[in-house]
Structure 1
Amino acid sequence: MGSNKLIIFAKQPELGKVKTRLSVSIGEENTLKIYFELLMITKAVTSSLDVEKIVYWDRLTEVSKFEFGSEFKRQVQAVGDLGKKMEVAFHNELQEGTGKVLIIGTDCPFVTKEILLDAYQRLDNSDFVIGPAKDGGYYLLGMKKFSPFVFQSIPWSTSEVLSLTMTSIEKNNQTFSLLAELCDIDDLDDLKVWKGSDY
C-alpha cells in the first residue's frame, strides 16, 4: 500500500476559530478543548496507517499548536469553498497517477483504522468510496483517478451533500461503495452522541 495516500483536512486550533456552531452552546474554550481532542484522535487513528499522509491545514503557521508528527507531510488548503479545496488537494495527490487517495477531516471521532483500511480495499472494486455522515454529508471520500466532477455544483454544509454526490457519480457512469454511517461533531446534539449527557 506504499503508493496510497491519506489527505487530512484540519484547522489550526485557535480560540474562536474552530467549531463555531458548537461554541455557541458550550463556549469557545470548551470548544477548543474538544477540537484538540478530535485532532489527537485523528492522529492516533492514522499514525500507524501504512500510507503517505498529508495534513492540509487551513493555513500554515510558524509555530503550530498541534503537530501530527514527522511522518505527516504539511500542506495548505487552496482558496475557495470546501469543494474547491478538496478538488485541488486530490489533484495534487493523484498527479503521480498510481494508488488510491482518501480524504477525511478531523470532525469524526468514530473513524477507526479498520474503517480506513476497508475504504482502501473497497476502491479495488469501485471508482469511489464514501463514508456517509448522519447530517447528510460525508466524513470520508476516496478515489483512484482524479474526478473533479464530484466537487462541482454541490451546496456544501447542507444535508444534500451526500445524495447529490452519489447522483453526480452515477450521472458520470461511475460506481461507489458506502461505508458505515457515522456522526460528525458539529453541534451540541452531536457532542452528546459522542460524550453522553455530560454537556
Structure 2
Amino acid sequence: MTAPFTPDKGHTEVIIFSRYPESGISKTRLIPLLGSDNAARLQRLMTEKLLAAVEALSPGLGCRLTICFSGGTRAKMVTWLGEHRYVEQRGDDLGGRMQYAFSESFKSGAQQAILVGSDIPSIDTTLLAQAITLVKQQEVVIGPTYDGGYYLIGFNNKRATELYPAIFQGITWSTTSVFERTRQGLLALGITPVSLPKHHDIDVPEDLPYAEKWQLL
C-alpha cells in the first residue's frame, strides 16, 4: 500500500488552471476574430501543450499534478486529458478560485504549490522546473505577463493563510495592475517575490501573433 503524501515528507503541487474548451464560451474575446470553434480549439491546444510540459518534468522534483478546471464535468475532463487529479474551481472571482486551488493542495499534503495559467504557449518544462526549484527556496515566486498580469504564482504552506489576502483579495482582475498590486501587497508583508521571465498570454486579438509563433492557429 502506498503511503499518503504528508506535509513533513512534502511534495510540490503543480496546478494547471484551465477550463473545459466549449465553443462560444472559451476565449470569448477572440471569438470575433477566430470564430467560436477556433477560439475553443486554441484553448484546447494551449492546455494540452502545458500538460505535456508538466508531464515531462523529472520525477526527482517531487511533483504532483492537479488540474483545477471550470466548465464541463470531471468526466469530460478525463475524456479530454486523461486520468489526473481534478479539482473543480470554486470562488466568487479569479482570486477566490485561485485561493481555493491552493487551499485544496495544502490540505492534501503539499509542501509547496505553483499555479500556472493555461493560455501562455511559451511555457516549457525548463521554466516549470525553474519555478519548482525556486518555490522550494523562496517564499513567493511569480511569473509576470506583458499585459500586467501573471501566468504563474507559487508559495509554500508555512505562511499561506497570511499570504492569501495580499495575493488574492482586493485586486481588480484582468487589468494591467494585477502584477504590481500583488507585488506591493507582498512587499507590505516584508516579502520580496522572486520574478520569473516575462511571457505573453493569449487573451485578445493583439496576442494572436504569439499563438501563431507556436503553430497553434
TM-score (norm 2): 0.84
Structure with bigger helix share is 2
State the distance in 2 between where 1:61 and 1:97 align.
25
1:48 CA displacement: 2.6
Give the % identical residues: 28
Give per-residue Cα distances to partners, 1:101-136, cap 9 Å, x unaligned.
Answer: 000121011001111111111124321000001110
Map residues 13-162 of structure 1 onto 2, 5 A cutoff. 13-49=21-57, 50=59, 51-61=63-73, 63-64=75-76, 67-70=80-83, 72-95=84-107, 99-145=111-157, 146=160, 147-149=163-165, 150-162=167-179
State the distance in 2 between where 1:2 and 1:68 align.
26
State the distance in 2 between where 1:124 and 1:93 align.
15
SS of 1:159's equivalent in the other structure is coil
Would you say how many aligned residue pairs link Structure 1 and Structure 2?
197
State the distance in 1 between where 2:205 and 2:24 align.
16
Regions of 4+ moved over 6 Å: none
SS of 1:175's equivalent in the other structure is coil
Which 5+ residue runs of structure 2 have no aligned equivalent? 1-8
Q: Which letter maps to 2:47?
A: L
TM-score (norm 1): 0.91
Q: Which letter maps to 1:142?
A: G
